[in-house]
Chain A
Amino acid sequence: DAGVTQSPTHLIKTRGQQVTLRCSPKSGHDTVSWYQQALGQGPQFIFQYYEEEERQRGNFPDRFSGHQFPNYSSELNVNALLLGDSALYLCASREGSGSYEQYFGPGTRLTVT
């Protein structure tokens, strides 16, 4: 049973560029959330997708956007990258109905130079 997978593992970008991160949820899960984890901090909620729609959003600017596909996989897009966007980006999945237990992927380490 495959868990949550994310790609790529590491990424280096330059300020002002755009980046797309990808996530495949755990088998049987239909809800995907994205979190940003800065060094030495706990994960911060970015947004959550269910039925291909953004259902809730955290305190992140519009430069952060996402998408969910019919197969429940998801993308996180960040435009106009800033140095402060350097972080570990985590994807978490859960079953949409009822379960509050989220399963996390290994993350994508984004470095903005």
Chain B
Amino acid sequence: AQSVSQHNHHVILSEAASLELGCNYSYGGTVNLFWYVQYPGQHLQLLLKYFSGDPLVKGIKGFEAEFIKSKFSFNLRKPSVQWSDTAEYFCAVNAPGRRALTFGSGTRLQVQP
């Protein structure tokens, strides 16, 4: 069975600080990896995805993530956060051929102006 761990449950940063949110998954085979964001009062939106190829993927709003296969990790990064990045961030995994997404428990990011 797949599982996803997000180690940081609540992160507080000041504007312009750098961000890194951890995501580890447990699954022995090939996986598809996603980061979703949920802004206050809004629905889940896809930030970025990794299926194959270059392990450094870039998403919307300046976010990027790096897939490290040997560490079963897919950490999300942003060099300089803005107040508008305040949201909940979810890492998700599925294996090719499987239809369900397995989500982590989420990380609440609070950016202080």
Contacts and interface: CB of A to CB of B under 8 A. Distances in A.
Contact of B101 (A40, A43, A50, A106): A43
A82 B94 CA distance: 29
A49 to B, nearest CB: 10
A106 B44 CA distance: 7
Contacts of B99: 31, 33, 48, 50, 55-56
Interface of B: 4, 32, 34, 36, 42-46, 49, 51, 90, 92, 94, 96, 98-106
Contacts, number: 56
Contacts of A101: 34, 46, 49
Given A43-B44, A106-B43, A107-B43, A100 B103 contact: no
A104 interface: yes
Interface string A20-55: 000000000001010100001111110010100001
Most interface-central of B44, B96, B104 (chain A CB within 10 A): B44
A100 B45 CA distance: 14
A90 interface: yes
Contact of B94 (A4, A41, A100, A105): A100
Interface in A90-113: 90, 92, 100-107
